Structure 1
Amino acid sequence: MAEKNRGISPDLLIHPGETISDLLEARNIAQKELAQRAGVSEAFLSDVIHGKKDISKGLAMGLEYALGLPRSFWLNLQANYDAELLSLQEEDSIQEEEKAVLTSIHEVIDYLKKRSVISDKLTQEQMIIGLRRLFQVSRLTGLRTLAPSGAFRMSDKAAINQDVLGAWLCLCKIQGSGLQVDTSFDPDRADELVSAIKRIMLTNRGDLQKVLKELFAKYGIYFSIVRNFRGAPVHGYIARNEDGTYQMVLTLRGAFADIFWFSLFHELGHIINGDISKPGSFIDTDCIKDEKKEAAADDFASRSLIDPASYERFLDQGIFSFSAIKEYAQTQSVPLYVVIGRLQKEKVIPWTWYHRYKTRYKWAES
């Protein structure tokens, strides 16, 4: 983020009227004569020269004839002056409440500094203005209104900070804007995609994030990982684009691999089930929750990972030794930790059983 020099007074800005004054002197033309040639009153021209009024479209056209300089020159001169003046007035528009937002989203700011997205040498005012531009909001207080524009899986326990949640959503959209997908999503290829994902699950590759991104791109989905922050206990985000493609984001909250994969299939379930029926997005939080859609997405995730009928038979056998679980995982073409995690979650076995066989992920953010 570029830094701007501050401290210049609006009084030191050069109003376009001063250029007219310079030309009058250089060409030895009286102000009254120029007004007559340009087709405006002498009083109006005098106000423009003294910076009391702006160059209008009519005056710009008149000056083109009178001074031989194109109207675009005069209009651009005025536009540049207006932009510089507005830039100087930006700091005056900062509200005390916006300064409080900086404290609220301090973890997000620290993250952006580490990634060199913003400088760590900005003043408080420069930081606010820079974040307005980055997040594309006219006021930082507007972040808290953005949360409803996504499809989320929220933690059941952590508190929600609307400022942080809005900033997180902005980061998702910023990251999504740099991704490329050549085809729209086709639900008829869902089984094909699920099988491909499960093959990747078994590879235990170090470049898993890159491989998943490339795979989803072939099926019309922008896939990425965005870091989570305290106050935004989000597992995932989905949005549908005008061209029929989707963006899917997962966070780093699911350190355990079984949680990560379930979250991935859950979000994919929302897409396949048509929960976002038109361009836009839908919300899935503790506060605003469509339980039918959530249950359907959970069911899709469960069925995609483990066949329901075979799982019931496995439970009925009642044998949960390590060798039995490992053998069953192989029949489902899933890693061992997926079955262990499900048995633990459903309290079929204690959390302490086979804990050392549960894989943890630490994602490298691209």
Structure 2
Amino acid sequence: MTDLQLKKSLLSCPGDTIQEHIDAIGMSQAELAERLGRSVPKLNELIKGKAPITKDTAIKLEYVLGVPASFWLNLERQYQDELLEIEQMEELEQCQEWVSAFPLPAMKKLGIIPNTRDKTELAGSLLKYFRVASPVQWSDIYVGSSLAFKIELRHTAEPQAISVWLRLGELQAENIKVATFDKKALRNQLETFKEIAYNHSEDWLEQLQTVCASCGVALVYTPCIAKAPIYGATRWIKNNSIPLLQITDRQKDYNAFWFTFFHELAHILYHGKKEIFIEGIDSITPDKEKEDEADAFASRMLLSEKERNELFQYPDYDIELVLHLSKKFKKHPGIIVAQLQREGFVEYKDFKMNRLKVKVAFNEEVIQH
């Protein structure tokens, strides 16, 4: 027997208690109706739970049956609460197929939903997570045309996983206090961002987040979720007042992280508030001109044209040269190695060079920061 079936079997309306009292004192429903000043059909509705016990009825029951009015009102309140819980469980049972489409193991690991197999409990958690009343509203927002979400995910292979990742970023942003957005201030911090990337302090993620917040940008680090092949995303939240820059750890690579960061930053600096940019999903048709502009900006932030020309002029590369150029350019050696590998100057399997690279991986702890 399921929890829902058990609750239904144990459900008892206040009318059952009324019937027990009149049976105990040897009174018929017809007599009780007469003493209450009600018709027999109306009393029968009360006995069967089809009509509620009102304050007036409770007072009359106290006079006739000698049981306090407060007892009857509390009994009615308890019955209505139980009835509401059963109705909610019935609605959530209808959501089981919808629930199954989400990446439940990943969501449990990140603490997004409770670690349970109860689909009704999971359904309730998902509805609260997305702030929707039912799967219909979730579909309207994330799959259909919506005022709340400007990109339709209907053409993506896994809209559920993608919506989970995007929603998680919004929840993370709620934990960040940001100043009023200031585009000029953000531009003035570009050199600071480069310094953070070069120095790679132990708290570099926190430093980057703090500087962004001081300019009015909510920067969040969202762990990669299976079936959501996203590198990063940018959109404006809170009635288009706060730019949200959301980065994943999909490639686990320092160079990839910073390229994504500067790419998304370009969307904030150069493109409109009403647009959403999601990088990594081919089925979401990007604005090629804007994406190319963001790519070019990110490339310049990682290495200037002059630095690239110098970097790629050598006939051979070793660790000593990379460290020399790193110090000269003030660019992290891991970024230089990654750039050399991209251009084919260094093999991806070069063990010694790869030791200069930095792994970037988020876990459930970053959700709280």
After TM superposition, give the deviation of residue 83 of structure 1 in Å. Answer: 1.4
Partner of 1:155: none
Q: Determine if the alignment matches structure 1 residue 208 to structure 2 residue 208.
A: no
Alignment-derived partner of residue 171 in structure 1:
168
CA spacing shift, 1:122–1:264, aligned 2, 3 Å: same
Q: Which residue of 2 aligns with 1:188?
A: 184
1:13 aligns with 2:11: yes
Check the 8 A contact 1:135/1:170 in 2, yes or no: yes
Deviation at 1:233, TM superposition (A): 0.8
Q: Structure 1 unaligned runs (5+)?
A: 153-158
Structure 2 Cα separation of the partners of residues 352 and 88 of structure 1: 54
Aligned to 2:360: 361
- CA deviation vs aligned residue, 1:310-343 (integer Å, no higher than 9, x gap): 2364268556644555444434432122233223
Query: Kindly tell me: are residues 35 and 264 of structure 1, through their superposed partners in 2, closer, same or farther at Cα, counting changes over 3 Å?
Result: farther
1:110 aligns with 2:105: yes
Distance 1:306 1:60 in 2: 76
Q: Secondary structure at the match of 1:183?
A: coil
Identical residues among aligned pairs (%):
22
Give the C-alpha shift of residue 351 in structure 1. 3.9
Residue of structure 2 equivalent to 1:31: 33
- Counterpart of 1:194, as a letter, is L
User: SS of the counterpart of 1:359?
Assistant: coil
Counterpart mapping for 1:1-366 below 5 A: 7-17=5-15, 30-32=32-34, 34=36, 43-51=41-49, 53-55=50-52, 60=54, 62-63=56-57, 79-90=80-91, 92-95=93-96, 97-98=97-98, 102=100, 105=102, 108-115=103-110, 118-136=113-131, 138-139=134-135, 142=138, 146=142, 149=149, 160-177=157-174, 179-242=175-238, 244-275=241-272, 277-278=273-274, 281-284=276-279, 285-287=281-283, 288-308=285-305, 310-311=306-307, 313-314=309-310, 317=313, 321-322=317-318, 325-347=322-344, 350-351=347-348, 354-366=353-365
Q: Is the 8 A contact 1:265 1:304 kept in 2?
A: yes
Residues 266, 297 of structure 2: 8 Å contact kept: yes
Q: Report the Cα distance in structure 1 between the residues aligned to 2:217 and 2:231, rounded to whole angstroms.
A: 17
> What's the CA shift for 1:207?
3.2
Unmatched tracts of structure 2, length 5 or more: 63-68
Amino acid at match of 2:237: N
3-state SS of 1:255 partner: coil
Separation in 2 of the partners of 1:127 and 1:25? 44
Q: Equivalent residue of 1:363, what SS?
A: coil
Q: How many residues align?
A: 339
Quote how far apart the aligned CAs of 1:131 are.
3.8
Supply the RMSD in Å over aligned alpha carbons.
Answer: 4.2
CA distance in 1, matches of 2:92, 2:76: 26
Q: Residues 45 and 313 (structure 1 numbering): CA distance in 2 closer, same or farther, change over 3 Å? A: same
Q: 1:188 to 1:17 in 2, by over 3 A?
A: farther
C-alpha deviation, 1:145, in angstroms:
6.7
TM-score, normalising length: structure 2: 0.72
Distance 1:47 1:113, change over 3 A: same
TM-score by length of 1: 0.73
Deviation larger for 8-17 or 289-298? 8-17
Offset of residue 259 of structure 1: 0.8
In 2, Cα distance between the equivalents of 1:10 and 1:63? 26
Work out the CA distance in 1 between the residues paired with 2:187 and 2:92: 54
Query: CA contact under 8 A between 1:151 and 1:237: conserved in structure 2?
Result: no
Quick one: which amino acid aligns to residue 246 of structure 2?
V
